[in-house]
Structure 1
Amino acid sequence: MNQNLNLKQQLRCIYTSDFFSGLRITDAVWVALLAARGFSLWEIGLAESVYHIVSLFCEVPSGMAADLLGRRKTLLSGGVLTVTCNLLMAFAPNLFTICLAMGLNALAMTMFSGTFTALVYDSLKTEGREDEYIQVSANSSQISMLANAVGSLASLLKRFLGFAGFYLLSAAFEGVSTAALALMEEPIVTKAQASRGRQTLRALPGQFTKLARNSLSILRTTPLAAKLIVSSAVVSVPSYLTKMFLQQRLIELGWPTELLFLPLLLGGAACVLGAEVGRRVRFRSMRRFYSVCALLCGVGTLLVGLAPAWGGLFGMMLVQGALEVYLLHERQKLNDAIPSDQRATLISVDSMAYSLLMIPASPLVGALGDAFGQAGAGLAALGAAILASGLAAGLFASNKP
């Protein structure tokens, strides 16, 4: 039961939200700013771990809420939380407050991760155009990454903005993004989605239980979905950690904080290029495709950890570009494999699996950096692990009859 939805207007709102939420001006400097305030790499890794602990516990419930109560409402709630997180971070006096802000940011991001993808896919499905998802997703990714690259230039304004200034400006950008979300329509493609407004509060616990059972049943009976979820979690681990700890590596190598925009600028360019390659690439075996992308990500992570500054920058670009290519196709195949009524929930499981790996990975990478006196030590170990997963997938695919 598909609705008549103004898809052009919907996509304009999606792309506008992508742009302003993509202006994540704090991403380029937050590690260096916290380190400059006296926090150790282990403490910074702990704050990142708090983010992923909250993500782990809230990822699936937020996806279930989106499926039962509506994707648009969930996205708007996430936007308000993101603005709140930035305001709290701007005036954080200690590590506890920083961890609290990171937790709120994680809660907000869980409201976006599966929900945004589900809304985009089902918006296309209302018009019978879900086969265009890779193209729309690539456009969305490129807009977001271009905005992220522009936002990274804000590190040049460090002497003018200061720690609080970065987060206040970020809050303003997130406010505009949330306003764009408010102009979107809720896509309706099933009877269950059409009846959301008639649900009573008393019926919600039962609906949550039913949704959980149905989602577990889909994972048990759809092996492809489970394999895609695991593969994306493993190969995604270096994505943020390479950018996060490359900042500190560059500081160790003598780079000034004002130049820390360069990693995110180049990383954003690599993602844009990866999305362009991803929309054109074709392959026969998803397992072999994973093997190639994991090998590239592993090599890139090793370069970030061990190579000189420019080699590390190239390695980070390799990770971002290869991962973008893989995730474009992984998301399309996962969306195709799951039903609309459980879409946000199951895509949230995809994100939860990533958080489950990041909870130990983030502080361990930081702890190895502290132990060896250089931020690249942990990244070298992580790169070796990702390489091993790619080799294992390639050997399994070669031996399969």
Structure 2
Amino acid sequence: MKYKRNIGLAYAFSFSLSLSFTHGIWMIYLAGKGFSLVHLGLLEAFFHVTSFLMEVPTGSVADIWGRKASRIAGRLCYGLSLIFMFHGTTFLLQVVAFMLSALGYNLESGAGDALLYDSLLLDGDEGRYIKVKGNDELINQIGSILSFLLGGYLASLNFGIAFYATVGSAVLGFFIALFFIEPELEKAEIQRKMSLPGSVLFSLKSQILDSGKVFRKTPRIGFFILFSESLFAFMVCQFFYLQNHWTNLGYSPAIIGMVFSLHAAIAAVFSVKAHAIEKIIGQRGLLVCCPLMLLLTLWGVALTPYSMVFYTLSASIEGLLIPTISTYLNQLIPSRFRATILSFQSMAYSLFMIAIFPLVGLIGNLASLNHAFTLLSSIATMLVIPYLVMLSKQKR
């Protein structure tokens, strides 16, 4: 069990990753600095445009130079982004902050799951992945609970404390990543003999072409990616704009942090029970129930005065999807292309966010956030209904 140490380190890294004390307050902070909802929507769009453009290159970084190197670089970019965000007084500086944050996200997005799965695979223990991933998500949600509670409290004292405490968690993750054992995977001999620029260009070309072959051979990969990332995009849009919505309703950052903490706690419970629930209702049951649950919660937030209740209910979708979809995809993807294809998953998420997030901010600025949430629910309904029809026509 050469790579067993990576599992414990991955849990510790996930915990440091989840200690983002600014995650539930950054929109409140930037709005307080004078940035409008349109500005916030554009900044998030810049994040996802950068993420979309850099996903495959950063996935190639993980496949060529290693998952460990990618995770180390990701923590450095994220720490710098927080410093720019806190001190940036102009829109341009905030754009830089969000682009650095996107790079940090890209460098982690495919490398994290790839390192975890390949470590188990090389030890001949990949059958435990869904349980290990569920535990990983549990630890992530525990960290999120602490972050939301402490982040809201720290923000009520001083936003600077929250930002620099998060920088500290990024530094902690950097040092944890130094101790990962890089999985020894087969790499093409031609790449080893190339110069650094040549290796990058070769990787981009070959990884995209070869990954396309994997998609054609196993179309379920694309189906799972589109399914999960569309749902995540709707949930994340709701999460960010609810920060401002609840602030406008008179709730303090501390109260908002408590609601987000409860959401994370419910997601944690469902993440560790995901493998058991999947055994009961099956893969198709999850693919049907999750989008229907999403529509219920989106419309509940938009049309009722119980937005906090319905948002909390949506945690069950998050908890179920993260370990189960990750398991399905990793079982279908060859190790050599794992980080790159998982990067396509993040690209799909970015495309959904680029299309939806600025539009919600614009409607919120021109009309109200209630109107924006109604629009979000309508778009989700228009996408989910044909998705369910398509699912019903597919073979099991």
TM-score (norm 2): 0.93
What does residue 12 of structure 2 align with?
16
Deviations 1:209-236 (A, max 9, x none): 2222211111122111111111112111
- Pick the aligned partner of 1:385 from 374, 379, 390: 379
What does residue 372 of structure 1 align with?
367
Distance between the aligned counterparts of 1:266 and 1:41, measured in 2? 26
What does residue 317 of structure 1 align with?
312
Deviations 1:135-173 (A, max 9, x none): 1111111111111110112211224323x3322111011
Report 1:22-37 matches (<5 A).
Answer: 22-37=18-33
AA aligned opposite 1:329: T
AA aligned opposite 1:178: F
- Pick the aligned partner of 2:354 from 359, 363, 367: 359
What's the CA shift for 1:287? 4.6
What does residue 332 of structure 2 align with?
337
AA aligned opposite 2:206: K
Distance 1:208 1:366, change over 3 A: closer
AA aligned opposite 1:356: L
- Pick the aligned partner of 1:298 from 278, 295, 299: 295
AA aligned opposite 1:66: A
For the Cα contact (< 8 Å) 1:233–1:353, is it kept in 2? yes
What's the CA shift for 1:62? 0.5
What does residue 217 of structure 2 align with?
221
Distance between the aligned counterparts of 2:197 and 2:343, measured in 1? 25
For the Cα contact (< 8 Å) 1:71–1:119, is it kept in 2? yes
What does residue 346 of structure 1 align with?
341
Distance between the aligned counterparts of 1:396 and 1:352, measured in 2? 22
What's the CA shift for 1:270? 2.1
Report 1:235-314 matches (<5 A).
Answer: 235-282=231-278, 286-308=283-305, 311-314=306-309
What's the CA shift for 1:47? 1.0
Deviations 1:241-266 (A, max 9, x none): 12111111111222123322123212
Distance between the aligned counterparts of 1:285 and 1:136, measured in 2? 19
Distance between the aligned counterparts of 1:291 and 1:393, measured in 2? 9
Distance 1:138 1:196, change over 3 A: farther
SS in 2 for 1:192: coil
SS in 1 for 2:22: coil
For the Cα contact (< 8 Å) 2:224–2:329, is it kept in 1? yes
Distance between the aligned counterparts of 1:146 and 1:260, measured in 2? 17
For the Cα contact (< 8 Å) 2:73–2:107, is it kept in 1? yes
The yes-or-no answer on 1:186 pairing with 2:182 is yes
For the Cα contact (< 8 Å) 2:3–2:120, is it kept in 1? no
SS in 2 for 1:279: helix
Report 1:99-114 matches (<5 A).
Answer: 99-114=95-110
CA RMSD of aligned residues (A): 2.1
Distance 1:395 1:191, change over 3 A: closer
Which is further off, 338-347 or 64-73? 64-73
For the Cα contact (< 8 Å) 1:69–1:196, is it kept in 2? no
Deviations 1:48-82 (A, max 9, x none): 11111111101111101211121111111111111
- Pick the aligned partner of 1:210 from 201, 206, 210: 206
Unaligned runs of 5+ residues in structure 2 are none
AA aligned opposite 1:234: S
Distance between the aligned counterparts of 1:222 and 1:119, measured in 2? 22
For the Cα contact (< 8 Å) 2:156–2:253, is it kept in 1? no
What's the CA shift for 1:391? 3.4
Distance 1:293 1:187, change over 3 A: same
The yes-or-no answer on 1:40 pairing with 2:36 is yes
What does residue 322 of structure 2 align with?
327
For the Cα contact (< 8 Å) 2:61–2:70, is it kept in 1? yes
Distance 1:193 1:336, change over 3 A: farther
- Pick the aligned partner of 1:5 from 2, 27, 47: 2
